[in-house]
Amino acid sequence: MAIEDIKKGLAGVVVDYTAVSKVNPDTNSLLYRGYPVQELAAACSFEEVAYLLWNGELPTPEQLAGFTARERVGRALDPVVQQVIDALPTTSHPMDVCRTAVSVLGARHELAEDSSPEANLAKSVDLFAAMPAVVAYDQRRRRGQDVVAPRDDLDYSANFLWMTFGEDHAPEVIDAFNVSMILYAEHSFNASTFTARVITSSLSDLHSAVTGAIGALKGPLHGGANEAVMHTFDEIGIRSEESLDEAAARAKVWMEDALAKKKKVMGFGHRVYKHGDSRVPTMKAALDKMIAHYGRPELLGLYNGLETAMDAAKAIKPNLDYPTGPTYHLMGFDTPTFTPLFVASRITGWTAHIVEQAAANSLIRPLSAYNGVDERHVP
Ligand code: COA
């Protein structure tokens, strides 16, 4: 086979249809079930967007009431999951904790071996409801804190922040968190979603597919980038006494040095978007509000300095992980918790794809071109 026939990384290969979302790099747009993601982020709760991804339509008020009531029932941390988390060292990565928790939830689910559309939808909603408790408790135990019980009077985002920090948050912080959840929810055939579809294609179960997807998301070329962005900020040095311009100047020097050393700078570039990520302007606006809310202009200086220097040197644009990293930092999340936040959101998109794959399945099994030693025989 000629080398040019091999599509390394499946770049440019269309492997199936999907009705869940449409990414259009030419018009820099992203649609969830036909709706521009920016409109959803401006007008909807994450619960409404989750409902949309699974059901194809935004909920009526009655449907939303039924759905949120169901979500609230599943919010408390499963005691067995808590025991398993407690058995893991606090040195283990939170993504490993997340992956393990999903696996435990799957093995304990009464519909574990039922992959009918109804069972898959029920399991999806259960996972969506259960994940905030897992992510929140894991961060808390690392800080020597106890589990916080969920609150029925709060929506998904407010309750997520409540269970993580055990305190109320300002409406603008809850709103920025809600926006991040909506923007992270779905993005067509990215590496983790494709992983989930591959696992589903063998007729395996939903929790196995999500567990595999979490493994794919962990890598810094994918979801792990939001965490890596914060490591970059830390390496440059966050100096709260510094002005925006001073911070920007230091970030510029750092970026020029990194690019001279041919480093890949996390939070920049995208396999599909080559002229900018459709989700970034909305998330950047949320970050700007958080910078103003917490009074931290020096973080904006680092952000601007890196972005401007990258643009000048290589014209590579930021991706969604670039503004979410500092946003989650400002909200008080520990850096290793950032990618589990992405998991809590993307569970909606992954499971919508799992249902879609199962409904029109074909085992995903590409071919390979052999380039090992020629046939030989055991002496
Ligand atoms: N920093 C520095 N250079 C970058 C870069 C980055 N973040 N992203 C791409 N480039 C450069 C590559 O070095 C390459 O340059 P070259 O042609 O001189 O070798 C060129 O841009 C093309 O990059 P390539 O890696 O082939 O593009 P891709 O489509 O395979 O990769 C990513 C897409 C996302 C894997 C890549 O941009 C990347 O590694 N980004 C950082 C990780 C990240 O933020 N991931 C989250 C994605 S949402």
Q: What pLDDT digit, counting tens, does each position of 128-163 carry?
A: 999 999 999 999 999 999 999 999 999 999 999 999
CA distance 245 to 100: 43
Distance of CA 74 to the CA centre of its chain: 21
* Other CB atoms within 10 Å distance of the CB of residue 366: 9
Average pLDDT for residues 70-79, to the nearest whole number?
97
Distance 324 CA to ligand 1 centre (A): 18
pLDDT at 64: 98
Nearest atom in ligand 1 to 320's CA: 48
The residue with tokens 């979500």 is: 71
pLDDT digits (tens, 9 = 90+) for 119-133: 999 999 999 999 999
Distance 252 CA to ligand 1 centre (A): 19
Distance 250 CA to ligand 1 centre (A): 23
pLDDT at 173: 98
User: Positive or negative, the Cα torsion across 79, 341, 193, 179?
Assistant: positive
User: Which of 222, 226, 261, 270 best tests ligand 1's pocket when mutated (most atoms within 8 Å of CB)?
Assistant: 270
β-bridge partners, 23: 30
Cβ pair 309, 60 in contact under 8 A: no
pLDDT at 31: 98
Q: Quick check: is 245 catalytic?
A: no
pLDDT at 2 exceeding the cut of 90: no
Of the candidates 81, 71, 134, 83, the residue with the CA atom closest to the CA atom of residue 108? 81
CB burial class (10 A; 0-12, 13-18, 19+) of residue 131? buried
Higher-pLDDT residue of 62, 28 = 62
Q: Quick check: is 231 catalytic?
A: no
User: Positive or negative, the Cα torsion across 9, 320, 26, 265?
Assistant: negative
CA distance 140 to 340: 14
pLDDT at 35: 98
Percent with pLDDT over 90 in the chain: 96
User: Which of 230, 265, 268 best tests ligand 1's pocket when mutated (most atoms within 8 Å of CB)?
Assistant: 268
Residue 23 — very low, low, confident or very high, per pLDDT cuts 50/70/90? very high
Average pLDDT for residues 321-344, to the nearest whole number?
98
Mean pLDDT, rounded, of the chain: 97
**Of all protein residues, whose CA lies closest to atom 23 belonging to ligand 1?**
269
Amino acid at 78: D
How many CA atoms lie less than 13 Å away from 100 in the CB half-sphere?
Answer: 18
Q: Quick check: is 321 catalytic?
A: yes
| Ligand 1 environment, Cβ below 6 A | 221-222, 225, 264-271, 314, 316, 319, 321
pLDDT at 274: 84
Helices H / strands E in the chain, number of each? 16, 3
pLDDT at 257 exceeding the cut of 80: yes
Distance 11 CA to ligand 1 centre (A): 13
